Amino acid sequence: MKTRMTELFGIKYPIMLSGMSWVSVPEMVAAVSNAGGLGILATGVLDADETRKAIHEIRDLTDKPFGINASLLFPGAAENAKVALEENVPVINFALGKGDWIVKAAHEYGGKVIATVVYKRHAMRAQDYGCDGLVVTGHEAAAHGGDATSLVLTPDIVDSVDIPVIAAGGFADGRGLMAALALGAEGIAMGTRFMSTQESPLHKNCKNLSLEKGVDDTIYGTHFDGLGCRSVKTKAAIKAYRRGFLGLPNFLDAAINSREMAKMLKLPYLKLFIGVLISGWKNTVQLAYMATAFPALKVATEDGETERKGVLPAGQTIGLIHDIPTVSELIERIITEAEEIQKRLSKITK
């Protein structure tokens, strides 16, 4: 199946792995790339040395194209992006920041850069400074989807830019892939569906949870990590999503948790703390929210605990998951289903 997405990245199928912390690890990235898609390494919880090591591990596991993601709002993200540039990573996917400097450096060695966006104005800006493509994330998505659903957001942005669009949010099978192509996208990105595969390091409790939940079993709000975020609806998630005093995060918890984050990212805590404070009130509040959310995300993903403290990001496609196949089986199934739909639709006459 050829689209502008497959041609842009040199891949077989127009399917991309979303970069998910603690899930999109080297083995998972390689599995998707080896199966014909585009694997994306999540670097949000990695420091620069760990990012470089992970890139080397991916290259030991696959000779196919792959990429890394960097959410530029997060501490250490810019350093991880610089490592990717030094390593000539084929694809860099950035979000939550201006990545013009990434575009310039990546193009010098022939790399491709895609920006993740949820608004048309950000999509047009990313195109203006040279991005090669866009990941357009709708409201249905896990974690940080936009306010508009993929059904309207995708064609709205497709009509506004000339570069290829990859649709994210609400896609889990061949029907979704064909729907995205019909909307003008050149392929899809999947997170929730890929989480529940055999190669995924997601805790088995969470994989089993994905088999039990329906499309209405998620929760969405802005008072968990400070952004519009969607997760599996559990007792812990409902509690975590409650609005705090005056709509603000718990700064005491944030200060405590940020020490662990600084340690994990190998950043001097005092430097991190002062840097956050001088970045402005709005940014301080946002990072405080993320610091309070961090332990809940880690506990769910790694330990499989989702009732007391853990919060598992998941999209509405969780209700479309009925088995735990290998990555290769999943991708082949999606492509086969899409091709069957294409044949069926071609027979429709006036």
Q: Which residue has the tokens 């099978």?
A: 173
How much is the pLDDT for 292? 72
How much is the pLDDT for 325? 98
How much is the pLDDT for 246? 58
pTM: 0.90
- What are 32-49's pLDDT values in tens digits? 999 999 999 999 899 999
How much is the pLDDT for 76? 85
Domain boundaries of the chain, sorted by first residue: 4-202+324-346, 214-303
List of the chain residues with pLDDT < 70:
244-291, 350
57: number of Cβ within 10 Å = 16
How much is the pLDDT for 258? 62
How much is the pLDDT for 267? 64
Which residues have C-beta within 8 Å of that of residue 206, sequence separation ≥ 6?
Answer: 195, 300, 301, 304, 306, 312
Token pair in block for residue 289: 């929210």
How much is the pLDDT for 39? 98
Cα–Cα distance measured from residue 198 to residue 323, given in angstroms and rounded to the nearest whole number = 10
Token pair in block for residue 64: 């196919």
For 4-202+324-346, CATH gives 3.20.20.70
SS percent in the chain: helix, strand, coil, step 5: 50, 15, 40
